[in-house]
Amino acid sequence: MAFQSPDQSRLPTAATVIGDSQPQGGGAKYAHIYPATGEVTSEFHLSDASDVAKAVAAAQAAFPEWRAMTGDKRRNLMFKLAALIEERAEEMTPLLSYENGSILLAGPHMSADAAQKFRYFGGWADKIEGRAIDTWGGPAHDYVRYEPYGVVGAIVPWNGPLFAATMIMAPALAAGNCVVLKAPENAPYSLMKLVEIIRDAGFPPGVVNLVTGGPDVGEAMVGHPGIGKIEFIGSGGTARKILAKASETLKPIGLELGGKSAVLVFADADLQAAAKRGLAGAVSANGQGCVNGTRLLVERSVYEPYLQMLQAMAGYVKVGDPLAQDTVMGPVISDTALDRIQSMVEGGKSDGARVVVGGERLDGEHKDGFFLPITVLADVSPESHIAKNEVFGPVLVVTPFDSEEEAVALANDSDYGLGAYIHTTNLARGHRVANRMMAGQVQVNGSGEAMTPCVPFGGMKHSGHGRLGGIEGLREFQQVRNVWINLQD
């Protein structure tokens, strides 16, 4: 085997954590596959619906104490957790690669980001305030309190489990909720480690519980009446099933879904910077990032030079062993995903697209893993299947435009509305176009830098609703109680 193998002695083993116990899950035995080599990293028992029920009971039991804990104490625990995550980043880093083929280089940033989230939202834990209203009915005293839901269920995808889970857990815990977290079975290790670190930080047992599994476990969470709110990060198809299931219990569902984010490159842009950032849409998270800019719209006068830059730069991106320090892009998650991506690329070609670079599965030393190189398709019709749908692989589609008006129309002509990236040196145009984007995350001359815990993150249209990050992220996990007190005798 050409690539390094995961070191099995570093893998955490507890896939189900309920209160302070780590029972063997009641589900089937599962063999996790390392996407870079196709080998099994470890086998463990999945959780099942009865584990979900026990996890919810543990969270409900822990809730009164957690809710009653004063904000300063919750803050201190979250700060302690942040410090411990940083201290144990070396334990976490390889797991992020083993679980889904992420590059080793990204690992330390992922731990730093998780720590930042607990610090940012820990800072809110001691600042939860209500407000008083001069109500019309009176004389009366009227006030508003922001209350936790009780138990929050977090369902996250395999492409960035640590990133996604901490986006939910940090604000949910700060607001005084307990959590039942579902790790995806095909990328479970970083969350198993996170829950271990949470325990070591001194969180009371039951405040965070872990179940690991697939759709059946998620469905059991959505259907459980003891969970007050579900926050879901994943695909639109699954979101539809979750919403249908949630109609039984009427519980609120937060949705962070997929995207087909537009990148608008105007002729006045710094073209090299725009090409480098454009390429990030294929490279980031091995092309499997929800908010990656994957639909490139380029002003016709710079269209061919821009494509040439993409092609040249793609040649410098080392695709290969995620555990090698100089690797910039790793594999996609599975053989099935690779087949799906390749068939979308073939469909694009049949619809008239020109292959600028990539397109074929990598062979040779890559052959046991699930590798596709950066793939750039030019002259893509905005109406074609590949222009309209999320590929979730290292594939960029490029289409020319002739005017600002046309660029805005093309960018907004999508069911999705997660990200939009505008490249221009014209400040007025930057603002003007940003304010016309039907997307939750708009960046001018950027490519992902803005995803810090202090800003609201989320989508419009089919990319979901609700926001994680910022004060909006805290509000996602609070419900409002209004209290009216009669001041008349």
Q: How far is the CB of 156 from ligand NAD (least distance, A)?
A: 6
d(CA 97, CA 165): 17
Binding window for ligand NAD (CB under 6 A); candidates: 19-27, 127-135, 229-237, 401-409: 229-237
* Residue 36 sits in the site that holds ligand NAD (CB under 6 A): no
* Residue 51 sits in the site that holds ligand NAD (CB under 6 A): no
Between 157 and 320, CB nearer to ligand NAD: 157
Between 62 and 474, CB nearer to ligand NAD: 474
Q: Cα–Cα distances in Å, from 111 out to 105, 191, 233, 303?
A: 12, 12, 19, 38
CB atoms inside a 10 Å sphere around CB 1: 11
Does residue 151 contact residue 56 with C-beta atoms inside 8 Å? yes
Binding window for ligand NAD (CB under 6 A); candidates: 22-30, 211-219, 341-349, 445-453: 211-219
* Residue 99 sits in the site that holds ligand NAD (CB under 6 A): no
d(CA 314, CA 373): 9
For ligand NAD, the nearest residue by Cβ is: 218
* Residue 256 sits in the site that holds ligand NAD (CB under 6 A): yes
**Residues 376-415 as x/- pattern, contact with ligand NAD by CB under 6 A:** --------------x-x-----------------------
Angle made by CA atoms 15, 19, 21, in degrees to the nearest 5: 60
Tokens describing residue 451? 């995803």
Q: How far is the CB of 47 from ligand NAD (least distance, A)?
A: 11
Nearest to 46 by CA among 72, 16, 21: 16
Between 189 and 303, CB nearer to ligand NAD: 189
* Residue 101 sits in the site that holds ligand NAD (CB under 6 A): no
Q: How far is the CB of 418 from ligand NAD (least distance, A)?
A: 6
Q: How far is the CB of 319 from ligand NAD (least distance, A)?
A: 21
Between 206 and 258, CB nearer to ligand NAD: 258
Q: Let me know if 248 is a catalytic residue.
A: no
Number of residues counted as binding ligand NAD (CB under 6 A): 30
Which of 185, 256, 299, 390 is flagged as catalytic?
Answer: 256
Q: How far is the CB of 164 from ligand NAD (least distance, A)?
A: 5
Q: Cα–Cα distances in Å, from 164 out to 33, 38, 102, 114, 249?
A: 21, 25, 14, 9, 25
Does residue 93 contact residue 108 with C-beta atoms inside 8 Å? yes
Applying CB under 6 A, among 19, 122, 184, 281 the residue interacting with ligand NAD is 184
First to last CA, the chain: 83
Does residue 155 contact residue 210 with C-beta atoms inside 8 Å? no
* Residue 359 sits in the site that holds ligand NAD (CB under 6 A): no
Q: Cα–Cα distances in Å, from 14 out to 24, 62, 169, 189, 194?
A: 8, 20, 19, 9, 11
Binding site for ligand NAD (CB under 6 A): 155-160, 164, 182, 184, 214-215, 218-219, 222, 233-235, 238, 241-242, 256-259, 290, 390, 392, 418, 459, 464
